[in-house]
Amino acid sequence: MRLFCLTALFLFVLASLFPHWFTDQLPKQQNLSRILASANEVHILGCDWLGRDVFARLVYGCRDTLMIGLSTSFFSIAAGLFLGTIVMFAGSFLNRLYQAFLDISQAFPPILGAILLASLLDASQTGVILALFLGSFASVARVLRTYILEIRTKEYILAAESMGASRLRIYAKHVIPNIFDPLVTLFFIQCGNMILAESTLSFLGLGAVDSLSWGNMVYGARQYLFSSISLSLWPASMIAILVLSLNRIRS
Amino acid sequence: MVHNLFHSLIRLLISVVGVCLLTMTVMLCIPGNPVFSVAERGMDAKELLRRQKEMSLDGPIEKLVFLGKKLFLFDFGTSKVTGENIGRELSQRLYNTTQLACLSLLFFLCMGVGSAFFSAWYQGRLADRLIDVLASWILATPIFWFGIVFIGVFSMYLGLFPISGNSGFASMILPALTVSVRPAAFLCKMLRQRLLEIYRERFITVAMAKGLSRFRILFWHVARNGLLPAITITGMEFSQLLTGAVVAETLFALKGLGSYIVFGVESRDYDIILACVFVSGLLVCLANSLADVLNQMVDPRLRS
């Protein structure tokens, strides 16, 4: 299982860095004589409704998909850490306010928030990333806050405080290194969640129009669901493999 | 007990107010003006301004109060695209979504709890490991993948269920399965871990030393302690069920809350989107506090 996940992840990273190593076909090259062609030697997974090579689209879409997952996950964790410092530095009023905000945001399913925002923002890759980030960062911030509060009660923090260390020093020297491990796990899991959320957004027609992401492929293939089901199954299965590898990588 | 219930109620109220505030903030950001909702054909700008004064919608605070009143009365106005009353349409669709949600909740609990106990019974053996891998795989798969596969296998290949549309109970089964598979995998993983933790407790050692059967230990001693978190997880996963409903209703062409959101998005009708998001936010709040109260009623340790 671990070997499978590592290999898959390695291949995905390789495909997003050097897509031309994997295929000679171009993802946006249309060939109207090959519409919905089945698999053959040139197009190993066949062609879609515009005669574009499915395998090439899978390979080139890897970068966009990974990009959306990694960037939203990174931004949410950065924002969560930044707001987490409020817990350390601010007084009790601001603290309560932050807690109340996190509690309220729990009532909104992240994907609904993202749907709302994505319909307001423009349908570009940046718009989708922003919508996903704003919709989900509260749930990451909540987890980070519990980590930080837990660490704060530890005795070595008390010891550092009694030695007169400044709060900034405690935060940088003691808190961050001690939550680093769960932080990395959270990063990869959140990355997987965001890739799933992006695919759901795209599936509902709220994805980035210029993006090659796998979610977008499924959205386009939705109209051909009953005639050629493999068009939607391939990208959806790729998403599953990628997210599984991301979830499993730390364990 | 009463004190705890009171606390839950207060928390519910606070989160409902929060949902209202968040929705209203988004409403303020959307281009447009509430006064347009009373605008008629042939009204000029002066008339509109006078109406705006009449409705006392000059500043942002007044606008907020106006919007708040509308939300409180569930008055979402008429859709600019279809011309229907959004509130009435929503209540009809909510009925369908409630049916879907109840059926998925049933599937969710049966599959989640069933597989967790199955895994705990065969712990450490092949069946347990297979269920673990299967659950991880399900958690990593987009919801619509299941929908597509279910349509392919059950509707197109086997012809057991209708492919789409609202036509009685049979048309609800595949969407409900699609919605509940992912939350069930989550429940299975969490519950399995909890059950295995309880197996390491001392009272289980005592029960084993007494010579009780494995069946009695699992389904009496372990289950009584292990099933409590299931209530909390069900409350937590309710928002996942709603998310799933959006996808499943779109895929199976059901008329419900979820497909209404997608309709609003496709026609860029912000009133519909906001109304749906507001109502789902309220539903999630309600589900969470219901889980809270149920937990207190079932668990004697939380009562005092």
Convert chain B into a string of H (helix), E (strand) and C (coil): CHHHHHHHHHHHHHHHHHHHHHHHHHHHHCCCCHHHHHCCCCCCHHHHHHHHHHCCCCCHHHHHHHHHHHHHCCCCCECCCCCCEHHHHHHHHHHHHHHHHHHHHHHHHHHHHHHHHHHHHCCCCHHHHHHHHHHHHHHCCCHHHHHHHHHHHHHHHCCCCCCCCCCCCHHHHHHHHHHHHHHHHHHHHHHHHHHHHHHCCHHHHHHHHCCCCHHHHHHHHHHHHHCHHHHHHHHHHHHHHHHHHHHHHHHCCCCCHHHHHHHHHHCCCHHHHHHHHHHHHHHHHHHHHHHHHHHHHHCHHHHC
What is the structure's pLDDT at A224? Answer: 78
Contact A103 B14 (CB under 8 A): yes
What is the structure's pLDDT at B227? Answer: 81
Instruction: Check whether residue B104 and residue B67 sit in a common domain.
Output: no
For residue A199, the enclosing domain spans: 2-248
* Number of separate domains in chain A: 1
Nearest CA in chain B to A244: B140
CATH number at A189 reads 1.10.3720.10
HSE of B4, CA atoms in CB hemisphere, 13 A: 15
Indicate the pTM of the whole model. 0.82
Distance, in Å, from the CA atom of B169 to the CA atom of B162, rounded to the nearest integer, reads 10
Instruction: Check whether residue B109 and residue B26 sit in a common domain.
Output: no
What is the structure's pLDDT at A219? Answer: 83
What is the structure's pLDDT at B188? Answer: 92
Instruction: List residues of A whose CB lies inside 8 A of any B CB.
Output: 1, 100-101, 103-109, 111-113, 115-116, 119-120, 192, 196, 199-200, 203-206, 215, 218, 225-226, 229, 232-233, 236-237, 239-241, 243-244, 246-248
Mutate to test the interface with B, among A112, A134, A209 (most CBs of B within 10 A): A112
Contact B141 A111 (CB under 8 A): no
What is the structure's pLDDT at B58? Answer: 61
Q: Which of A104, A108, A240 sits opposite B137 (nearest CB)?
A: A240
Nearest CA in chain B to A247: B140
Instruction: Check whether residue B145 and residue B242 sit in a common domain.
Output: yes
**pLDDT by position in tens, chain A (length 251):** 778 888 888 888 888 888 778 777 777 777 777 677 677 766 777 777 777 777 888 888 888 888 888 999 999 999 988 887 777 677 778 877 887 778 777 767 777 778 877 777 777 888 888 888 888 888 888 888 888 878 877 888 888 888 887 877 887 788 888 888 888 888 988 998 899 888 888 888 887 777 788 888 888 887 777 777 778 888 888 888 899 888 887 76
Q: Which of A108, A200, A236 sits opposite B281 (nearest CB)?
A: A108
Instruction: Check whether residue B247 and residue B131 sit in a common domain.
Output: yes
At B175-198, the pLDDT tens digits run 899 999 999 999 998 888 888 888
Instruction: Check whether residue B197 and residue B258 sit in a common domain.
Output: yes
Instruction: Check whether residue B32 and residue B153 sit in a common domain.
Output: no
Contacts A203 to B, Cβ<8 Å: 142, 144, 247, 250
Tokens describing residue B303: 């009562």
Mind telling me how many Å the CA of A87 is from chain B's nearest CA?
21
Residue A51 neighbours by CB under 8 Å, 6+ apart: A30, A31, A32, A33, A34, A35, A37
What is the structure's pLDDT at B184? Answer: 92
Tokens describing residue A29: 């090259």
Mutate to test the interface with A, among B145, B157, B269, B273 (most CBs of A within 10 A): B145
Instruction: Check whether residue B27 and residue B134 sit in a common domain.
Output: no
- Between CA A118 and CA A124, with CA A121 as vertex, the angle to 5 degrees is 85
Q: Chain A to chain B, count of Cβ pairs less than 8 Å apart?
A: 130
At B141-173, the pLDDT tens digits run 888 888 888 888 887 778 777 777 777 777 888
Mutate to test the interface with A, among B25, B144, B157, B280 (most CBs of A within 10 A): B144
Distance, in Å, from the CA atom of A152 to the CA atom of A170, rounded to the nearest integer, reads 10
For residue B192, the enclosing domain spans: 88-267
In this prediction, residue B90 has a pLDDT band, given cuts at 50, 70 and 90, of: confident
The gap from C-alpha B123 to its chain's centroid, in whole angstroms, comes to 31
* A177 burial level (CB within 10 Å; 0-12, 13-18, 19+): exposed
Better-predicted residue by pLDDT, A183 or B301: A183
Instruction: Check whether residue B93 and residue B65 sit in a common domain.
Output: no
Distance, in Å, from the CA atom of A46 to the CA atom of B288, rounded to the nearest integer, reads 47
What is the structure's pLDDT at B115? Answer: 92
Contacts B239 to A, Cβ<8 Å: 108-109, 112
Q: Which of A107, A192, A204 sits opposite B262 (nearest CB)?
A: A204
Is B232 part of any domain? Answer: yes
* Number of separate domains in chain B: 2
Contact B15 A243 (CB under 8 A): no
Tokens describing residue A99: 């807690």
Instruction: Check whether residue B36 and residue B125 sit in a common domain.
Output: no
Contacts B142 to A, Cβ<8 Å: 196, 199-200, 203, 215, 218, 236, 239-240
In this prediction, residue B54 has a pLDDT band, given cuts at 50, 70 and 90, of: low
Query: Could you give phi then psi for residue A53, rounded to 5 degrees?
Result: -70, 125
Most confident of A81-90, A99-108, B21-30, B91-100: B91-100
Contact A108 B284 (CB under 8 A): yes
Instruction: Label residue B124 left, alpha or beta by phi (over 0 means left) and psi (-120 to 50 means alpha).
Output: left
Written as one letter, the residue type at A33 is: S
At B221-275, the pLDDT tens digits run 888 888 887 888 888 888 888 888 888 888 888 888 888 888 887 787 777 888 8
Instruction: Check whether residue B218 and residue B117 sit in a common domain.
Output: yes
Query: Could you give phi then psi for residue B78, rounded to 5 degrees?
Result: -105, 150
Distance, in Å, from the CA atom of B189 to the CA atom of B129, rounded to the nearest integer, reads 11
What is the structure's pLDDT at B244? Answer: 86
Better-predicted residue by pLDDT, A10 or B75: A10
CATH number at B245 reads 1.10.3720.10
**Percent of chain B scored above 70 by pLDDT?**
88
Distance, in Å, from the CA atom of B246 to the CA atom of B258, rounded to the nearest integer, reads 4
Q: Which of A100, A203, A246 sits opposite B144 (nearest CB)?
A: A203
Is B59 part of any domain? Answer: yes
What is the structure's pLDDT at B33? Answer: 58
Is B278 part of any domain? Answer: no
Instruction: Check whether residue B12 and residue B134 sit in a common domain.
Output: no
In this prediction, residue B302 has a pLDDT band, given cuts at 50, 70 and 90, of: low
What is the structure's pLDDT at B41? Answer: 63
Say if residues A109 and B243 touch (Cβ distance below 8 Å).
yes
What's the ipTM? Answer: 0.79
Q: Which of B136, B137, B265 sits opposite A115 (nearest CB)?
A: B265
What is the structure's pLDDT at A74? Answer: 92
Residue B211 neighbours by CB under 8 Å, 6+ apart: none
Which string of DSSP letters, residue by residue, matches chain A? -HHHHHHHHHHHHHHHH-GGGT-SS-TT---GGGTTPPP-SSSTT-B-TTS-BHHHHHHHHHHHHHHHHHHHHHHHHHHHHHHHHHHHHS-HHHHHHHHHHHHHHTTS-HHHHHHHHHHHS-SSHHHHHHHHHHHHHHHHHHHHHHHHHHHHTSHHHHHHHHTT--HHHHIIIIIHHHHHHHHHHHHHHHHHHHHHHHHHHHHTT-S-TT---HHHHHHHHGGGTTT-THHHHHHHHHHHHHHHHHHHTT-
Instruction: Check whether residue B101 and residue B194 sit in a common domain.
Output: yes
Residue from B228, B262, B225 nearest B245 by CA: B262
**Percent of chain B scored above 90 by pLDDT?**
9
Is B203 part of any domain? Answer: yes
Contacts B136 to A, Cβ<8 Å: 244, 247-248
